[in-house]
Structure 1
């Protein structure tokens, strides 16, 4: 201890420090020790702050990562749910509406009222007749338009419409069967002329149902759509119900064979034709003058068929153009006809008649009704 003090409290040459020198050295030592202490404290504080900051940063980073992960998971879950809920439906091209229908009145309810003119002309020899304005929904003229009749082959307008609403491919084919041939032969029905084994497209069958009023084509359509005429007729009556006319109309077959339970009024048939003219495909078929089918066993170049009502009325003065029609005949209802006309002023009409004594008489009755009541 003595040597230490000597080393520290003597000058380099071994002389004792004066009182003033001693005080100066002690003051220097105190300042040095305090400086070292302060430096240590500052270093400890800086280290503590650094550790705390790092800890907080790590915690925040973890929270951000977890939040981002949760958000990503949530987004993936939402996307997955959307994909599961999406249902892609194919549009049926045969349900498209015709251009003419844009001006038609809505619905299928028409009534005869005090403003309806009575068809009294001796030139109209059909026992029953009705003329409907499709733009206003008004019955313009009538003669027993509410009387129940057998629609005969006018039935095939509904056959065409129901088939159009249930097919998926006009180019699909159907083969004429012996059962269908036997049925239409036994009922003495009009026909396209298909033989057993003849393969026709659905398009062929639709035109064949209307233009020559082919019962063979109509039966093929019914079996193609539903497997049997009976099942197809169920669809026909469902359509009558959809149109709101099932209380006065009921069908038992798809070709118009007479049956006491197969009936409708002329107004009902007008609404059936309206519904068909609203369908683009049906409108096209009902408007066709001629058509050639696919090849058959007896006709390698196909069978050329015609809508004779349209071809015979086109040169008559009806104050417009008759652009759709279907005729019919059974003994109980005589010659019948339903036609669609666009008048010279752009108005749209449907005329239906029944119980004429010939096809030509039916045509002339339509000409007279259009000539008298349209412009």
Structure 2
């Protein structure tokens, strides 16, 4: 009898210790939902999330926000703000660089639709980088601003240090996968928060469509469309409005969105990264669903 009682007490002690360990370490148990401050959750498909209120800097929601993630074309937000801070005249001629154009075509990168040597302007390249996520536009900006993509990447990393993006490193301007190009959701939020204070960046980031300059290759220009805003046209946004965004997708990075919107009287930045991707030709847009839910949940608390 004493032996059975000892076993029973040992079992009870084991269960108590196990429960305490689960609470302390944040193990995910059925029914847990992540709250600001961050326990793990299965509520969202995206493994890395950071939502912050602009102005106050208050984190509204976070999930593995400081863990390493690949940025894919969210990289182009840094490309664009760095370029803007080095360009004196957005209307000046900035022809599409032929060598990097051919490399982007060979690597099946997303493109804005420009041709090699096409005589576009800096403004065209900037909108081409953000709205349709053009790889040829991003690399052409890098060449014109810094003389080479290598030198431009140095400017990108210098800016990351300046902004306190301590867990970020860039390796190229266009966002194609590179193991040495990584970031975190919270670092991407820092970047976007900073960039939105630049009025030219904000105008580009929140533009739904843009018609590029007439050239010999495209006499009518090219109609550029935001990959984010165009996908939200049919979506109901009750109590909030997503004003702009940047998408990014590779198999390694998964499906990523960086968005900027309003709810109540506040402005908010949402970063969702790493939503699972099985077929890049037929994505399930889980990052969009996560983003809309984040904003919807935010609006209910206003």
- TM bracket, shorter-chain basis: 0.7 to 0.9
Partner of 1:116: 37
- Give the equivalent residue in structure 2 for 1:304: 223
For 2:188 and 2:200, locate their aligned partners in 1 and report how far apart those are by CA, in whole Å: 19
Q: How does 1:44-55 map to 2 (within 5 A)?
A: none
Moved over 6 A (4+): none
Alpha-carbon contact 1:328-1:335 (below 8 Å) kept? yes
Q: Offset at 1:117?
A: 5.0
1:279 is matched with: 198
Moved more, 293-302 or 162-171: 293-302
Question: C-alpha distance in 2, partners of 1:165/1:299?
Answer: 28
Contact 2:48–2:69, Cα closer than 8 Å, also in 1: no
User: How far off its partner does 1:360 sit?
Assistant: 2.5
Counterpart secondary structure, 2:120: strand
Corresponding residue for residue 141 of structure 1: 61
Matched ranges for 1:69-84 at <5 A: none
Deviation per CA, 1:162-204: give whole Å up to 9, x if none: 0111110011011223212221112211011111221001111
Report the counterpart of residue 223 of structure 1 in structure 2: 143
Distance 1:366 1:324 in 2: 12
Q: Aligned residue for 2:254? A: 334
Contact 1:128 1:143 in 2 (8 A): yes
SS at match of 1:153: helix
Q: Is the 8 A contact 1:154 1:328 kept in 2?
A: yes
Match of 1:74 in 2: none
> What residue in structure 2 maps to residue 91 of structure 1?
none
Q: Quick one: distance in 2 between partners of 1:327 and 1:359?
A: 14
Structure 1 contact 335–355 (Cα < 8 Å) conserved: yes
Structure 1: unaligned runs, 5 residues or longer: 1-113
Aligned residues: 259
Q: Find the partner of 1:266 among 185, 192, 205.
A: 185
Q: 2:168 aligns with which of 239, 242, 249?
A: 249
Q: TM-score, normalised by structure 1?
A: 0.66
User: Do residues 360 (structure 1) and 279 (structure 2) align?
Assistant: no
Aligned mates of 2:80, 2:154 — CA distance in 1:
14
Correspondence 1:351 to 2:265: no
SS of 2:94's partner is: strand
SS at structure 1 position matched to 2:174: coil
After TM superposition, the structure 1 = structure 2 runs for residues 1-375 of structure 1, keeping only pairs within 5 Å, are 115-116=36-37, 118=39, 120=41, 122=43, 124-245=44-165, 247-314=166-233, 315-317=235-237, 319-343=239-263, 345-356=264-275, 357=277, 358=283, 360-374=285-299, 375=302
1:295: Cα distance to partner? 2.4
Deviation by residue 1:15-64 (Cα, 9 ceiling, x = unmatched): xxxxxxxxxxxxxxxxxxxxxxxxxxxxxxxxxxxxxxxxxxxxxxxxxx
Q: CA deviation at 1:329?
A: 0.8
Looking at structure 2, the residues matched to 311 and 178 of structure 1 have their Cα atoms a distance apart, in angstroms, of 29
Give deviations 1:323-375, integer Å, cap 9, x for gaps: 120000111111101001111x2111111111223363211110001111343
- Bigger fraction of residues in helix: 1
SS in 2 for 1:199: coil
CA positional deviation for 1:294: 1.3
TM-score, normalized by length of structure 2?
0.81
Residue 121 of structure 1 and its aligned partner are, at CA, apart by: 5.7
Cα distance change, pair 359–252 in 1 and its aligned pair in 2 (3 A) = farther
- Measured against aligned partners, the alpha-carbon deviations of 1:249-274 in whole angstroms (never above 9, x if no partner) come to 11011111111111110000011111
| Bigger mean CA offset, 204-213 vs 143-152 | 143-152
Contact 2:75-2:174 at 8 Å conserved across structures: yes
What CA distance in whole angstroms lies between the structure 1 residues aligned with 2:94 and 2:294?
Answer: 40
Structure 2 portions without partners, runs of 5+ = 1-34, 278-282
